[in-house]
């Protein structure tokens, strides 16, 4: 095969020194590129007054990147607007937070057109192009308009919403039509794929064809579910590093005679943090005898701060954590430790290892890599317990976690009690099954399955017809 060109909204390659503060997606994409040698194209993360020049190209740690800046209007309309205020909340079932504004849609189209025009000269005939996530759905259409016949695949990292929800989006049909300019469209789970199919069959008079293909809008696209995993091997190595062991020891020392419950996520309303705090509060209220034996550590680095909904959730969590500590803390103990700082990946590994419970309760999540990282970090002889939302894509694979409905503080409280009192043999049995999956269905398996499926699609003769 030719090169692999990865396109994503943000390009932020890890440094490779274990001190990354980037998330799992960036690690996954960088690993894919090192394996196949290629190019990573997207936004630099910066804004500039003039942003329509050629990309800045650089190479570090085996990964070549080509990045462009956004101007202020693009940043407001495409990134904060259509991506963060329209598609993200809608795809996470938050109609109440979804903003429909024509200027956002126009900014989205404009940036996708510009990305395509800037990327076009860098594409060689045999390159495979792999586009990531909801920011860039129309990119293949724009590339086809520029006569690109290469195989182009799309992978959606977030949920695909139920049909009745999706049709509330003005222009929903055009967005789905644009997905038919790809050769392969991948989702995290069979459920999300099914929701997409349902739309295509009932709303776009589409049909299902043999070989995992769908036909609609006069075109055919191959589809599939490709659950993303973590780099379990890399994570295992991080754990043995000096920084990870030191962090684990610090956590263990600061929780002597107590059990640590840990949550780690970007501060986002989809992650169910408010409901989680309420669940923990309920646990404290229901179990006075266990109160002083536990500590909940919530790490939640702030994200998307210029969007109102994110400022609001932050204010509510500040109030809630303050209320719980105010109600239950004593002179020598407080139940919640809530930090908005970003930690290094190796420090996170040490924190997971020190925690007896991993509490992962998103209201909706495409996959959720934190659940898998928590599993990978456990001591095989004395593992902790994973409590996981049934609405995370990961619940499909991690069946041996304690699966809960994250909307119910009672269910969270009951699961906490069960996890904290679970005997060692049950913990080991559950963890082995979870870990087997995390190790087997890792990021390399995800990447290889996706790339193989994309390679398997017959190449097109022309860009626009099919
Ligand atoms: C999207 C989808 C899907 C978090 N805090 C810190 C930190 N993190 C890292 C975690 C993990 C990553 O960020 C978060 O990944 P998730 O998968 O949990 O969630 P999203 O960021 O919403 O990712 C999601 C994913 O894409 C991949 O397809 O699973 O469903 O929403 O790796 O460890 N990392 C560091 N410091 C922190 O403080 N270093």
pLDDT tens sequence across 110-148: 999 999 999 999 999 999 999 999 999 999 999 999 999
303 alpha carbon – ligand 1 mean position (Å): 11
248 alpha carbon – ligand 1 mean position (Å): 20
* Band of residue 88 on the pLDDT scale cut at 50, 70, 90: very high
Atom 1 of ligand 1, nearest CA residue: 157
* Band of residue 328 on the pLDDT scale cut at 50, 70, 90: very high
**Whether residues 157 and 288 fall in one domain:** no
Q: Is the CB of residue 403 less than 8 Å from the CB of residue 418?
A: no
Closest CA to 276 of 422, 387, 401: 387
In the chain the first and final C-alpha atoms are separated, in Å, by 22
**Whether residues 265 and 304 fall in one domain:** yes
**Whether residues 240 and 381 fall in one domain:** yes
| Range 210-222 average pLDDT | 96
Q: Which structure tokens are listed for 199?
A: 């739309």
Q: Which of 69, 74, 365, 400 is catalytic?
A: 365
What is the C-alpha separation between 335 and 284, in angstroms, rounded? 9
What is the C-alpha separation between 207 and 216, in angstroms, rounded? 7
**Whether residues 301 and 391 fall in one domain:** yes
CATH of the domain at 158: 3.40.50.2000
Q: Name the pTM for this structure.
A: 0.96
Structural domain boundaries, residue 263:
232-440
Other Cβ atoms within 10 Å of 106 Cβ, number: 15
Q: Which structure tokens are listed for 41?
A: 């194209």
**Whether residues 287 and 155 fall in one domain:** no
The contacts of residue 425 (CB under 8 Å, 6+ apart) are none
**Whether residues 218 and 292 fall in one domain:** no
Sign of CA dihedral 28, 29, 30, 32: positive
Q: Is the CB of residue 388 less than 8 Å from the CB of residue 416?
A: no
* Band of residue 18 on the pLDDT scale cut at 50, 70, 90: low
Which atom of ligand 1 is nearest to 230's Cα?
Answer: 32
Q: Check residue 211 and give left, alpha or beta (phi > 0: left; psi -120 to 50: alpha).
A: left
Atom 4 of ligand 1, nearest CA residue: 265
- Angle at which helix 345-354 crosses helix 232-239, to 10 degrees, equals 80
- pLDDT at position 310: 87
Q: What is the CA radius of gyration of the chain?
A: 22
**Whether residues 129 and 84 fall in one domain:** yes
- pLDDT at position 275: 97
Q: Is the CB of residue 222 less than 8 Å from the CB of residue 185?
A: yes
What is the C-alpha separation between 275 and 42, in angstroms, rounded? 35
What is the C-alpha separation between 350 and 345, in angstroms, rounded? 9
Catalytic residue list contains 157: yes
Catalytic residue list contains 396: no
**Whether residues 147 and 124 fall in one domain:** yes
**Whether residues 107 and 253 fall in one domain:** no
- Own/partner contacts of 50-57, CB < 8 Å, gap of 24 or more, are 52/114, 54/118, 55/118, 55/119, 55/122
| Range 151-178 average pLDDT | 97
264 alpha carbon – ligand 1 mean position (Å): 9
- As for how many domains the chain has, the answer is 2
| Range 326-330 average pLDDT | 95
Q: Which structure tokens are listed for 52?
A: 């329509």
What is the C-alpha separation between 68 and 366, in angstroms, rounded? 27
Looking at the predicted structure, is the pLDDT value of residue 466 above 60? no
84 alpha carbon – ligand 1 mean position (Å): 16
What is the C-alpha separation between 26 and 95, in angstroms, rounded? 28
Q: Which of 227, 244, 266, 270 to mutate to test the pocket of ligand 1 (most atoms within 8 A of CB)?
A: 266
> Which residues lie with the beta carbon below 6 Å from any ligand 1 atom?
20-21, 23-25, 157-158, 228, 264-266, 299, 301, 342-345, 348, 365-370, 373
Closest CA to 385 of 463, 451, 294: 294
| Range 350-364 average pLDDT | 97
Looking at the predicted structure, is the pLDDT value of residue 312 above 60? yes
Looking at the predicted structure, is the pLDDT value of residue 60 above 90? no
Other Cβ atoms within 10 Å of 3 Cβ, number: 18
- pLDDT at position 263: 97
Q: Which of 17, 18, 24, 265 to mutate to test the pocket of ligand 1 (most atoms within 8 A of CB)?
A: 24
Q: Which of 157, 231, 346, 400 is catalytic?
A: 157
Looking at the predicted structure, is the pLDDT value of residue 24 above 70? no
What is the C-alpha separation between 5 and 33, in angstroms, rounded? 8
Q: Which structure tokens are listed for 175?
A: 């967005």
**Whether residues 254 and 275 fall in one domain:** yes
**Whether residues 186 and 50 fall in one domain:** yes
SS3 374: helix
**Whether residues 369 and 451 fall in one domain:** no
Atom 38 of ligand 1, nearest CA residue: 342
């Amino acid at each position: 095969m030719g090169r692999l060109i990865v396109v994503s909204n943000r390009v932020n390659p890890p440094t490779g020194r274990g001190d990354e503060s980037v998330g799992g997606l960036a690690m996954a994409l960088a690993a894919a590129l090192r394996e196949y040698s290629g190019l990573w194209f997207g936004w630099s993360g910066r804004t500039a007054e003039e942003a329509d020049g050629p990309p800045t190209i650089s190479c570090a740690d085996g990964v070549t990147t080509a990045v462009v800046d956004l101007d202020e209007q693009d940043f407001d309309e495409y990134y904060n607007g259509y991506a963060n205020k329209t598609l993200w909340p809608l795809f996470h079932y938050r109609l109440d937070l979804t903003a429909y504004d024509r200027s956002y849609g126009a900014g989205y189209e404009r940036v996708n057109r510009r990305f395509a025009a800037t990327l076009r000269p860098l594409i060689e005939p045999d390159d495979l192009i792999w586009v990531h996530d909801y920011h860039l759905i129309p990119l293949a259409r724009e590339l086809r308009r520029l006569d690109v016949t290469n195989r182009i695949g799309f992978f959606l990292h977030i949920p695909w919403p139920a049909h009745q929800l999706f049709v509330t989006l003005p222009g929903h049909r055009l967005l789905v039509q644009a997905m038919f300019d790809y050769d392969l469209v991948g989702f995290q789970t069979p459920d999300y794929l099914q929701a997409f199919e349902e739309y295509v069959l009932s709303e776009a008079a589409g049909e299902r064809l043999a070989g995992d293909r769908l036909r609609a809008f006069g075109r055919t696209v191959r589809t599939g579910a490709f659950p993303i995993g973590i780099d379990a091997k890399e994570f295992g190595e991080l754990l043995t590093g000096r920084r990870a062991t030191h962090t684990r020891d610090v956590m263990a020392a600061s929780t002597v005679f107590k059990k640590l419950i840990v949550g780690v996520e970007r501060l986002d309303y989809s992650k169910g943090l408010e409901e989680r705090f309420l669940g923990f509060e309920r646990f404290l209220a229901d179990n006075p005898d266990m109160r002083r034996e536990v500590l909940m550590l919530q790490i939640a680095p702030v994200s998307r701060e210029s969007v109102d909904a994110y400022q609001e959730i932050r204010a509510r969590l500040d109030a809630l954590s303050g209320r719980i500590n105010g109600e239950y803390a004593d002179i020598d103990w407080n139940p919640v430790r809530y930090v908005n700082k970003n930690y290094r990946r190796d420090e996170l590994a040490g924190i997971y290892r020190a925690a007896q419970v991993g509490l992962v309760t998103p209201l909706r999540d495409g996959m959720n890599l934190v659940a898998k990282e928590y599993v990978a970090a456990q001591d095989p002889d004395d593992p902790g317990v994973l409590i996981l939302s049934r609405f995370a894509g990961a619940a499909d694979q991690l069946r041996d976690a304690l699966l809960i409905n994250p909307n119910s503080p009672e269910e969270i409280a009951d699961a906490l009690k069960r996890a904290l009192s679970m005997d060692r043999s049950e913990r080991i049995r559950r963890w082995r099954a979870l870990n087997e999956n995390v190790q087997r269905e890792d990021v390399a398996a995800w990447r290889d399955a996706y790339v193989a499926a994309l390679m398997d699609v017959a190449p097109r003769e022309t860009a626009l017809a099919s």
